[in-house]
Amino acid sequence: MADFAKSLRYDHAREKLDKYIDKLPADTCRLSKSEIKEKYPLSIEGWRIPINCGAEVHSIDYLIDWNFPYSTPRLALPSYKDGSHWPHLFEGNYLCLLPNHAEIDSSLPVEAFDFLMTEAHDLIQKCMSGELDDDFDEEFLSYWALRVTEPETPIYSLLKPTGPTRHIVLVEGPKSFIACEKYADGQAWLANRFGEKHSKVPFRKALLVWLGVPPKLKGFSRTNSALLSWLDGLDRDAAKVLKKALKNAECMVIFGFDAGHGTALAAVKVKPNDVKAKGNSRKESIKARLADAGQTQLYAVQRVDHSWLHGRDQDARSAVLKDKSVVLIGCGAVGGSIVVKLAEAGVGTIHCIDPGRLEWGNIGRHVLGGEDVGEVKSKSLAFRLRSRFPHLKFTDYGPFQWQEVYGTQKEVFSNADLIVTTTGSWQADGQLNDLALEPTKFPPILYGWTEAHAVAGHAVLIPPGAACLACHFESKGVPVHKVVSWKEGTQLRREPACGTFFQPFGPIELSFIKSLIADEALGALLVRTEAAIWATWIASIDHVTETGGTWSDEWIESFSDPGKGAARTKREWLHNPNCKVCGEGRERMKSD
């Protein structure tokens, strides 16, 4: 790498540090370029500094990289031969002194040196005394990773990260295994992640051993007898289950336990000896099969279950959203992003309905890109999200309108917890509003739409029995209340084609409205409400002025002056007694 890649402060900070280290009373030396290249490829300069740790003297390699002094220097312990017996000492004998989010003052390289060297001295002394041995338990996954013998074959876990000890299923994926409670779970995950051709794959039985206490890694050995002795000291009943499982064949064992800061999982493949014992003793036969014919294989386990992916076990909403079902009508610039946001939040089942095809003119503000141009938006969106979130369920209905889907599969709507529509079309939303008023089982509906140039966005949640959408819409589907008015009237723009118009807005200003609708959808899934709620995002006055608009007189009179804008409001979507759809007006229409 060329020298111009160094930070602008590198030479000055390095010179200050070099002069300071040269004056130290200890017998320090600069590391050669060849040694740094061989041992520390991420660094470009370094010093070796001896430190006195009571009965022992250790050397610390103080290392800096191209981003110094902005980056934190690394410290390594070259004199220590077996890092597996000390915590906070990792591959390459690097010392872990600071958390991964820590920053240092780039203007004080000498002070940073003193601080880090003091931390290293204290850490080494505590390691020598055994004071930090419990850290092996609390930070189990970091130290297990150093022992893994099969790094190219990870195990992805869909298991419920709780006890008891039980038999599980291990499904074979591409260069990996999927640990799951039942075969169908692994099949679905692989089909979503890699396509249907991977859904019919081999599987084997495995064992989840749930430990009541964290296992002690210090002194851990990979032989069969040592493993069973180790397990017997932790959970005798679990050890008995493992011995029984090993009577006839090799066994993949996943250990799970509460590590204090979350659930930890690790896996071991144990292969019994094929040698038969002399005599007929059943006990001797089992003992022979578990003799140390070879070492166990150690695997890393990566959790891909819902609770971990959506909050790392820290978000209580995850368990609720996992069982929720949403129907989303309209997968355009707004609706497509809402689907993604709901998936990121962890909604378990999402039905995507939009027969429209993606065009090149859409991709500047759509979550889909050029690779999906010409495809049905709902179909491409569901396909992409299955691979991205293989633990969730996405269903699309191809070229069919929502009315057609409802006509043939009413249960999709009636079984949903929420319907979200972002079509901005009265032809679609008006019919949906009528249907929701019928005496049939229907979930709450969240209607979302955007004003021209994305100067404002609206999200109206209407639960069963509340006011209807038409209460504040004109008969042709025009909202009664608009935040912004325009001198030129309609702001629709026309393409050089027959009857082809579009809403003018860019992706940045639209992002606020997407967040508004997604947030209201999430709230509707988590908190039940009986009143109709109307949330509005109002853009800044600067954006409104730039696009030629002004605050609507009707909005100011009905609510208040938005002032500088850049605000979000929420109020009840009140019932209109003269509504021709749900009010007295409807009864007058019937009588006429």
Residue pair 548/487 in contact by the 8 Å Cβ criterion: yes
Q: Quick one: fold of 317-482+506-541+564-590?
A: Rossmann fold (3.40.50)
| Higher pLDDT pick, 134 / 457 | 457
**How far apart, in whole angstroms, are the C-alpha atoms of residue 513 and residue 539?**
9
**How far apart, in whole angstroms, are the C-alpha atoms of residue 484 and residue 468?**
23
DSSP 8-state secondary structure symbol assigned to residue 3: G
| Higher pLDDT pick, 383 / 270 | 383
Of the pLDDT bands very low, low, confident and very high (cuts 50, 70, 90), residue 346 is very high
Mean pLDDT in residue range 560-571: 97
**How far apart, in whole angstroms, are the C-alpha atoms of residue 234 and residue 230?**
7
Say whether pLDDT at 456 is over 90: yes
**How far apart, in whole angstroms, are the C-alpha atoms of residue 468 and residue 458?**
15
Helical packing angle, 333-345 and 507-526, nearest 10° = 50
pLDDT, the chain, mean: 89
Say whether pLDDT at 229 is over 90: no
The pLDDT of residue 203: 92
Residue pair 122/95 in contact by the 8 Å Cβ criterion: no
Mean pLDDT in residue range 222-245: 78
Under 8 Å CB-to-CB from 287, ≥6 apart: which residues?
277
Tell me which residue of 438, 378, 374 sits closest to 402, measured CA to CA: 378
Tell me which residue of 477, 470, 445 sits closest to 578, measured CA to CA: 470
User: Which tokens hold the place of 64?
Assistant: 């800096």
Identity of residue 116: L
DSSP labels, 179-238 = EESSHHHHHHHHHHHH-GGGSS--EEEEEEEE-SSPPP-TT---BHHHHHHHHHHH-HHH
CA angle 586, 588, 592 (to 5 degrees): 120
Residue pair 423/440 in contact by the 8 Å Cβ criterion: no
Residue pair 201/171 in contact by the 8 Å Cβ criterion: yes
Under 8 Å CB-to-CB from 443, ≥6 apart: which residues?
413, 414, 416, 417, 418, 419, 464
Ramachandran class of 465: left when φ > 0, alpha when ψ lies in -120 to 50, beta otherwise: left
**How far apart, in whole angstroms, are the C-alpha atoms of residue 285 and residue 238?**
20
List the domain boundaries for the chain.
3-133, 141-304, 317-482+506-541+564-590
Mean pLDDT in residue range 15-44: 93
Mean pLDDT in residue range 548-554: 95
The pLDDT of residue 481: 97
Residue pair 264/140 in contact by the 8 Å Cβ criterion: yes
Mean pLDDT in residue range 393-411: 97
Residue pair 343/385 in contact by the 8 Å Cβ criterion: yes
**How far apart, in whole angstroms, are the C-alpha atoms of residue 471 and residue 230?**
70
Distance, CA of 471 to chain centre = 39
Tell me which residue of 364, 356, 416, 360 sits closest to 380, measured CA to CA: 356
Mean pLDDT in residue range 375-379: 98
Q: Which of 284-298, 423-437, 496-510 has the lowest mean pLDDT?
A: 284-298
| Higher pLDDT pick, 258 / 197 | 258
Domain covering 3-133 in this structure, CATH number = 3.10.110.10
End-to-end CA distance of the chain: 84
Distance, CA of 525 to chain centre = 19
Say whether pLDDT at 140 is over 50: yes
The pLDDT of residue 480: 96
SS3 264: strand
Say whether pLDDT at 275 is over 80: no
DSSP 8-state secondary structure symbol assigned to residue 166: E
Residue pair 184/333 in contact by the 8 Å Cβ criterion: no
Distance, CA of 152 to chain centre = 23
Q: Which of 29-33, 245-249, 497-501, 541-545 has the lowest mean pLDDT?
A: 497-501
**How far apart, in whole angstroms, are the C-alpha atoms of residue 372 and residue 358?**
7
pLDDT tens-digit profile of 145-195?
988 999 999 999 999 999 999 999 999 999 999 999 999 999 999 999 998
DSSP labels, 353-421 = E--PBP-GGGTTSSSS-GGGTTSBHHHHHHHHHHHH-TTSEEEE-TT--HHHHHHH-HHHHHT-SEEEE
**How far apart, in whole angstroms, are the C-alpha atoms of residue 113 and residue 6?**
19
Enumerate the β-bridge partners of residue 214: none
- Number of Cβ within 10 Å of residue 104's Cβ equals 18
Ramachandran class of 297: left when φ > 0, alpha when ψ lies in -120 to 50, beta otherwise: beta
The pLDDT of residue 2: 45
The percentage of the chain sitting over the pLDDT mark of 70, rounded to a whole number, equals 90
DSSP 8-state secondary structure symbol assigned to residue 474: -
SS3 513: helix
Of the pLDDT bands very low, low, confident and very high (cuts 50, 70, 90), residue 590 is very low
DSSP labels, 6-39 = S-TTHHHHHHHHHHHHHT-SS--EEPPHHHHHHH
The pLDDT of residue 1: 42
Say whether pLDDT at 502 is over 90: no
Burial class from Cβ neighbours inside 10 Å (0-12, 13-18, 19+) for residue 354 reads buried
Q: Which of 234-243, 383-392, 433-442 has the lowest mean pLDDT?
A: 234-243
CA angle 235, 309, 305 (to 5 degrees): 45
